[in-house]
């Protein structure tokens, strides 16, 4: 379900992110690569026959690709500012990001996909640069985080959580675009059964409908 809240520790069953594995440098490298993949999926779709495909919500309560891309862009900026705040303050308390307030105030659905894609990549590189240089003692520093519950979290966790946001919403963006615009980003097809008779293949109706979310 897209409306469920992904976990903030252990393994995420939806996107496969694991908070318990991977070192700092590898986590940051993956974050930058996956940001690039989200950015490319958005620009490819926007460069297709209908630019507005990026603005379509697959279901009324599920965000569009441009909305997720704007969210990811802003998450990267907010999290980089939180790293700086954590290093600068004795007892940092992070201000809530207000994801749905931003969606409305900044009119995510009307933003230019090419501009969003470029900003997403810039923010990923800037976040990566700020995260890569942290020393072990800094990674253990605590700040009061407000999602999903108010709790002290280390900077190391904050970086992993940011990487999870990127991986999870990369999946959302690619899944949504595959549903709405099959010729640009094809959804994975099920392999034909092994005993299929090749001569009757073309006459066999194929199931094109998504198997559910």
Q: Under a CB-based contact definition with an 8 Å cutoff, are residues 124 and 166 in contact?
A: yes
Of 168, 172, 181, 185, which lies in the binding site for Zn ion, with binding defined by CB under 5 A?
Answer: 168
Taking the least distance from each CB to Zn ion, the nearer of 134 and 166 is: 166
- Determine if 174 is a binding residue for Zn ion (CB under 5 A): no
Is 15 among the residues that bind Zn ion (CB under 5 A)? yes
Residue 163 in the binding site for Zn ion (CB under 5 A): no
- Residue 6 lies near Zn ion (rule: CB under 5 A): yes
* Minimum gap (Å) between residue 103 Cβ and Zn ion: 20
The span of 13-21, 79-87, 128-136, 184-192 binding Zn ion (CB under 5 A) equals: 13-21
Binding status of residue 12 toward Zn ion by CB under 5 A: yes
Measured CA to CA in angstroms, residue 13 lies from 94, 168, 206, 208 at distances of 28, 10, 28, 25
Q: CB-wise, 63 or 181, nearer to Zn ion? A: 63
Helix ranges, the chain (H): 24-46, 65-88, 99-105, 113-132, 136-139, 155-180
Strand partners, 212: none
Find the shortest distance in angstroms from Cβ 15 to Zn ion: 3
* Nearest distance in Å: CB 90, Zn ion: 32
Q: Which is nearer to Zn ion, 14 or 109 (CB)?
A: 14
Q: Does 161 bind Zn ion (CB under 5 A)?
A: no
| Least Cβ distance, residue 141 to Zn ion (angstroms) | 25
DSSP-derived secondary structure for 87-98: HH-SS-BPPP--
Judged by CB under 5 A, the stretch of 23-31, 39-47, 62-70, 165-173 that binds Zn ion is 165-173
Residues 6+ apart with CB under 8 A from 55: 64, 65, 66, 109, 110
Closest approach, Cβ 164 to Zn ion, in A, equals 6
Q: Let me know how long the chain is.
A: 213
For residue 171, the minimal CB distance to Zn ion (Å) is 7
Is residue 17 at the binding interface for Zn ion, with CB under 5 A as the rule? yes
Question: Which helix H or strand E contains 55, and what residues bound it?
Answer: none
For residue 64, what is the DSSP state? P
Q: Confirm if 65 and 175 have CB atoms less than 8 A apart.
A: no
Whether residue 148 has a cis bond before it, omega within 30° of 0: yes
Instruction: Kindly list the residues in this chain that would bind Zn ion in the complex (CB under 5 A).
Output: 6, 12, 14-15, 17, 168
């Amino acid at each position: 379900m897209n409306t469920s809240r992904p976990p903030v520790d252990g393994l995420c069953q939806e996107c496969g992110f694991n908070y318990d594995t991977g070192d700092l440098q590898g986590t940051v490298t993956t974050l930058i690569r996956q940001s690039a993949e989200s950015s490319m999926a958005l620009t490819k779709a926007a460069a297709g026959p209908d630019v507005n495909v990026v603005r379509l919500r697959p279901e009324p309560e599920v965000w569009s690709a441009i909305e997720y891309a704007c969210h990811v862009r802003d998450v990267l900026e907010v999290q980089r500012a939180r790293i700086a705040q954590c290093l600068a303050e004795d007892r940092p308390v992070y201000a809530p990001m207000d994801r749905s307030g931003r969606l409305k105030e900044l009119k995510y659905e009307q933003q230019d996909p090419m501009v969003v894609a470029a900003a997403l990549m810039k923010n990923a590189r800037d976040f990566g640069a700020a995260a890569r240089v942290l020393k072990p003692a800094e990674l253990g520093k605590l700040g009061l985080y407000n999602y999903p519950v108010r709790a002290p979290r280390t900077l190391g966790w904050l970086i992993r959580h940011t990487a999870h946001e990127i991986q999870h919403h990369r999946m959302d963006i690619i899944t949504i675009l595959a549903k709405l615009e099959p010729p640009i980003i094809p959804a994975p097809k099920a392999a034909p059964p092994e005993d299929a008779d090749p001569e009757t293949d073309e006459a066999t109706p194929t199931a094109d409908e998504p198997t559910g979310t």
